[in-house]
Chains A and B, each alone.
Chain A
Amino acid sequence: MTNADELLASLLASRNADGGWPFQRGASWTEPTALALLALQSANHSSDARPLAASWLANQQSSDGGWPPCASVPTSTWVSSLTLMALAQERAYSSGCPKGAQWISSHVYPDLPALEVFVQRSLGVSPSQAPGSSPWFPGTAGWVSPTAFSILALSCWSSRFPDADLSKAIQRAQTYLLSRRCSDGGWNHGGSLQRSEESPSYPETTGLALLALANTASPALDHALHLAETYLRNPVSPEGSAWLLMGLAAHGRNAQESAKGAAARRPTAKELPDISGGALDTAPVLREFPQSQPPLRPKTNRDIALQLIAFHALRGRNPFLQPAL
């Protein structure tokens, strides 16, 4: 049994009776269900889990064209992007996708009027609803991850159904992403400056942003790709590794070799973070914590789905880069 087989079995075992997936336990949510469906698609899985998941997602679509995060929340959010990508591969359940694409496109913030740009520049402030960015929740500021998902979803849709407005929205979003790099070359949640101090990037957002910039040529990406390789050699989470592998592979980097190196490597005692803050005097067990846990164990259904997607992405089947059917 391969690692991918184990991941698939684990994913299938954790689905709810209604055909959806919880994050860990409880009710079905849109995000883990969409990721699970993308994982099943990347694995070419063909049991009834696939149509049931697609049906569950299709039934969640709101009248505005977007998808809410779960049945108990009525507002459509960024999860619309993930859902569009998942349903765009399921012909029998994709009838809501055109409206979904419109919803996503309408949540890529437009360019500001010239006067507003002038005033904001004069005041030294950057706009919260920055042009090209997408919010997690409607009406709030734009951030790196939801913007990256907007790019991936709109690219998936427009590659099958070309549309000038969608292409412009994708371009604006990619420009936003490039403008939000941290000084180390990667990306964090989107706040690269905190009271004038530089914030470091995160592995997971760096990998995701690189994936969303897959078809972008920019000298700025060299630094980001190098950083992503460095992150991958020192993995901190299954999610981070999955996005880094996909982001590097999308730019033609040999992510598989990096992954092998990462899998074979465990941190030594000297490399472990000092969690004591200098005052821990009687907890020697804490100093050994990473040895007591296997590294990069997937802990949520989201982790499992992302690992499975990354596994198949390295073998040429990245569902985030597939055109709609």
Chain B
Amino acid sequence: MPTSTNRRYFFLGSLGIGSLATAFSCSHRTSLPLDAQRVSIVRVPSYSHELFDVIRRILIDHRVAVAGKRILLKPNLVEFSAQAPINTSPVLVSAALEAFHSLGAAHVTIAEGPGHRRMTLDMAEAAGFFSAIPRFEDRFVDLNTADVRRVALAGPVSTLKELYLPHTVFDCDLLVSLPKMKTHHWAGATLAMKNLFGVVPGSVYGWPKNILHWAGIDESIVDLHSLFPRQFAIVDGIEAMEGNGPILGQPKHMGILVAGAHTPSVDATCCQIMRIDPAKIRYLTLAAEKLDWDWQTVRQSGETIASVSSAFALHPDLQHLRLK
């Protein structure tokens, strides 16, 4: 079994900080209980068997209701490149699958709908998912080609009024976003919230899912988020991507997982870790308005942001996003 080094990091942070955060009083506005937006930062140096234990402890620490629940794991599978960490590691997805099973989940499904290319299963095979996860094809749903239903958007921020989305993403009790920590050449960063673009089916809207671009990328991120009230996010920040992400960027070793139930808070924490100003990420400012939430009220447990942060290289056009 793994050494206790990382567990120690984890427990040092998690011991009581959540409840301290709840008691913390500040002037920033938010309608959320502070513990509900607590974010865990955990050091994990590599994609090892230790991940199962780490993820299991995160879920317990956040009191995620798992027993008897139907869980949907939504990794980020965009394209395959031998040179760049574009996708969520299959080792991490496998560890999450086992962790949810070990906590009594009734059913765990893995689902994704890549945005550029149609050969979802071939990309998953090339990225190592077939080998890392036994019976992968039985557990996996291609969200690009699954059966869909009409979903009306109530009070949308974007120009979208409705979307046709896969039954799969609604026939679960908890949607677990498992994104890769990456910069994004349009949105600034692609994390737990942007990862939901993958639930929009290409077989209806195409590759890329251009309707979201036309409706406003940032606005669509917020609208998709609002469709899924029961989420949990675990961001793969072990091998991250900087520069011209989400596809053409460069690898950046961070050695961390970032997790929490409130995905805007998870994303705001990730941005600070990446030395990107959350106040300049438009989808986060839109989320703050819509959700009556303030990223400055978010509290972290485990590692501090300062102890793990490292400036991600940003595209020359996005230098204004840098956190001062």
Q: Which A residues are within 8 Å of any B CB, using their own CB?
A: 22-24, 26-27, 29, 31, 69-70, 72-73, 77-78, 128, 135-137, 139-141, 143, 145-146, 188-189, 191, 194-195, 197, 199, 202, 204, 236-240, 273-283, 285-286, 288-290, 292-293, 299-300, 302
Partner of A139, one of B80, B150, B214: B214
Once A24-B145, A72-B149, A77-B204 are accepted as A-B contacts, the answer to whether A275 and B127 lie under 8 Å apart by CB is yes
Please, could you name 24 A-B residue pairs with CB atoms under 8 Å apart, sorted by A? A26-B147, A27-B147, A29-B145, A72-B150, A72-B164, A73-B148, A77-B206, A136-B205, A137-B211, A189-B117, A197-B248, A239-B118, A239-B122, A273-B80, A274-B82, A277-B89, A280-B47, A281-B48, A282-B46, A283-B47, A283-B132, A293-B131, A299-B137, A300-B145
Q: Chain A residues with Cβ under 8 A from B119's Cβ?
A: 204, 236-240
Rounded to whole angstroms, the CA-CA distance of A308 and B81 in the bound complex is 28
Supplied contacts A195-B185, A239-B118, 16 more A-B pairs, CB within 8 Å: A72-B147, A140-B206, A189-B207, A197-B244, A238-B119, A238-B122, A239-B122, A281-B48, A283-B132, A286-B90, A286-B131, A290-B125, A292-B130, A293-B130, A300-B142, A302-B118
Q: Which B residues, 151 to 173, have Cβ-Cβ distances below 8 Å to chain A?
A: 164
Query: What number of A-B contacts does a CB cutoff of 8 Å give?
Result: 159
Partner of B211, one of A140, A283, A286, A302: A140
Q: Are B205 and A70 within 8 A (Cβ)?
A: no
Once A140-B210, A286-B132, A289-B131 are accepted as A-B contacts, the answer to whether A299 and B203 lie under 8 Å apart by CB is no
Rounded to whole angstroms, the CA-CA distance of A141 and B45 in the bound complex is 42
CB distance from B189 to the nearest CB of A (A): 14
Rounded to whole angstroms, the CA-CA distance of A176 and B130 in the bound complex is 38
- B253 at the binding interface (Cβ < 8 Å): yes
- B289 at the binding interface (Cβ < 8 Å): no
Q: Chain B residues with Cβ under 8 A from A293's Cβ?
A: 125, 130-131
Q: Chain A residues with Cβ under 8 A from B239's Cβ?
A: 277-279
Q: Count residues on chain B whose CB falls below 8 Å from chain A CBs.
A: 56
Partner of B49, one of A188, A204, A274, A282: A282
Q: Chain A residues with Cβ under 8 A from B128's Cβ?
A: 275, 286, 289
Rounded to whole angstroms, the CA-CA distance of A283 and B126 in the bound complex is 15
